[in-house]
Amino acid sequence: MSEELKKVKDIVQSFQRSKKILRMYPSNNPIYLTTLENDHKRFKEFFYYRDEFTLKIRQNEMFFDAEQVYFNPEKEDNLALFFFKDGLRELTFRKGLSYEELEDFFKIISLDFSTEVLDDDIVTLFWEKDFQNIHYVVDETVLSDDEEYEARAMQELENKESDEDSLLKAYEDAFREEEVIKEASIVPLSDKDLQLLLKELEKDSQDKASKLVDLLLEVFRMQSPDDYSDLASFFGGAFEYIVQRGNIQAAAYTLSALKQFAEQKQTDEEARRHARRMILMAGSESVLMLLGEVLDSGQEVEEKLFEDFVKHLEKNAIVPFMKILGELKSIHARKLVIDALILLGTKDIVTLARGLNDSRWYVVRNIIYILRKIGDKRAVDYLLKTVRHGDIRVKKEVIRALGELGGGGVLQALRECLDDTDAQVRSAALKALGNIGSEAAKRITMNKVSEKEFRDKEFEEKKEYFEVLSRWKDNDLYEFLVGTLKKKSFFRRAKNYENRACAAYCLGLMGKKDALSLLNKYKNDGNKLLREYASTAIKRLEYGQ
C-alpha cells in the first residue's frame, strides 16, 4: 500500500469518528478542538504528496484512484450511503483547505438528518457554504422535483444487474426517515484520540468515566493482537489517572469491567492475557502509592466503594498495601488499608505473614490484627514466632490472636506468657486461655492457681484468674473451688484469704446454686474480704444480681 493511499484511508476513517465527536461536544470543548486540529493535520500531510484527492462515492463504498478506501455493506453508520442517498457521487479536497472550511464540512455531516428539523439536505448546505477547496459532484436526478422521480429511480435500481437487492434496500432505507439508524457504533481510535479521551476524566463524572472504560474495552475488541500491548499501556495510564484523582468508584468499575471482559467467551486468549495484566497493574506499587496519597489527603472515601475496588484486585496488591500501611498518617486511611488487607490476605496468607518481620512495631501489630480477623489457622505458625516480640503492644495483640485461632503450639506459648514480667502480657495470655475454652486450657489455669507462687500475686490479678475459670462451669471446677474456699492456712493467712474470697466470687459467677449452703457459712466470717465476696456470690445466685 502506498503512503498516500494509507493517508487517504486514515482521513476517510476519521470522517466517521469526527462527525460523532462534533455532534457530542460543544465547539469550545478541548476534544472538539483537538479533533479538528488532528483532522486538518492529516489533510496537510496528504497534500505533501498531491495537491488534491477525489473520493468517488458508491452506495456502500468509496474509491480513491480506483482503490477501495471504504466499504460497509450494512445500513448502520454507512458513511458512503450517508453521502450517496443525498446524491453526492464525488468529493474532492484541494490543497489550501482551511481549518474553518474543514470545520464547516464536519458540522454539516455531523447533523442528525433523521431527528433534527432541517429544511435542506447535505448538498444544499454545502452549496450555501460556497467552499473554495471542497468540491463535489451531484447526481442531478436526486435533486429533481419531478414527482415521477421516485418511480423512475425504483425502476432503474431494479434494472441493475449487480447487487440489485442491496441497492433497492439502500434506496428504500435512504428515503424512509423513521428507519434511519440513530445509534453510533464505536470505531477504532488512534493514540491521539485516546489521549483526548483521557482528558475527559477531569470532568470528575463517574458516568463519563464508566463510558470511557466501556469505550476503551470496545476499542480493545476491535484492535489486532499487535496493538494490544500499546492499548494496555494506555489503559494503565488512564487507570493511574483515575486513582490519582480519587475516583474510587470509577476505579472499581474499571476493574469489574476488565474482569468481565476477560471472562467473556468472545474475548480471544491474547486479549484475556492483557486484561489480566491490567488488573495486576492496578495492584502495583506505583498505583497503590497514588491511592495512599489520596487516602492520606483527607479526601472522604466511602468504605463500601473502597471495598468494591479492593475485591477486584489480585494478591499482588498485598505487598504494596503493607508498605502503604506503614506510611499512612490518617487513622481513617489506615483502617481502609487494614480492611483491604483482610480481604486480600485470604488469597495469600504466606505473603501477608511476611509483614510480621517489619521493623516497625505498629505495622507488625496491624498485620497480626489482620491475620486474626482473617481467621486462617495457617497463620498460627507465623504468629508463634512473634510471641517474643520486644514491644508489649505487639505481644498483647499476638496473644489475643492465638487465643482466637488456637492450634498446635498455642497452649504452650500461652502458658509461658503467664509467667511474663509484664502484667498486661500475663493478663492477655490468661484471657486467651479462657477464649480457647478447652479442657487443656482449663487445666493450665487451674494449675497456675494451685502453685505456691500464686498466692503472692496481686489480688486483682488473682480475681482475673477466677473470672476466667468461671467460664467452664463443670463439676471438676466446682470441686476445685469448694476445696479452695475451705482451705485454711496458718502462714500468710491474708494472702490465703484472698484466694478463698476469689473462690467464693467464682462460685457466684458459675451460677451453681448448690454452692449456697457453703457460701452462707462464710457470709459472717471474721475476714472482711471473704465475708464481702461470699455475700456478693449469694446475692448473685439467689437474685441474679
Instruction: Report how far Cα 314 is from the mean position of its chain's Cα atoms.
Output: 10
pLDDT, residue 87, reads 86
The stretches of 298-391 forming alpha helices (DSSP H) are 303-310, 318-325, 331-345, 349-353, 361-374, 380-384
Cβ–Cβ under 8 Å, residues 456 and 436: no
Enter the C-alpha cell of residue 533: 465476696
Three-state SS for 80-144 is HHHHHCCCEEEEEEECCCCHHHHHHHHHHHCCCCCCCCCCCCHHHHHHHHCCCCEEEEECHHHHC
- Measured CA to CA, the distance from residue 211 to residue 205 in angstroms comes to 10
| pLDDT over threshold 90, residue 508 | yes
User: Mean pLDDT in the chain?
Assistant: 83
pLDDT for 365 equals 96
Question: What's the pLDDT tens digit per position in 41-77?
Answer: 889 888 888 888 899 999 889 999 888 999 988 887 7
- Helix boundaries (H) for 418-492: 423-436, 439-450, 459-469, 475-486
Q: Is the pTM of this model over 0.85?
A: no
Q: What is the pLDDT of residues 182-230, one digit of tens each?
A: 333 334 445 555 555 555 544 444 456 666 677 766 766 666 677 777 7
Report the first-to-last Cα separation within the chain, whole angstroms. Answer: 96
Query: Letter for the amino acid at 117?
Result: V
Q: Evaluate if residue 179 carries a pLDDT over 80.
A: no
Mean pLDDT (whole number) for 463-481 = 95
Residue 145 confidence (pLDDT) above 50: no
Per-residue model confidence (pLDDT) at position 315: 95
By the 10 Å C-beta count (0-12 exposed, 13-18 middle, 19+ buried), 449 is classed as: buried
**Contact predicate 42/13, CB 8 Å:** no
Rounded mean pLDDT of 359-367?
95
DSSP state of 182: -
pLDDT over 50 at 278, yes or no: yes
- Note the pLDDT of residue 197: 54
CA distance 473 to 508: 11
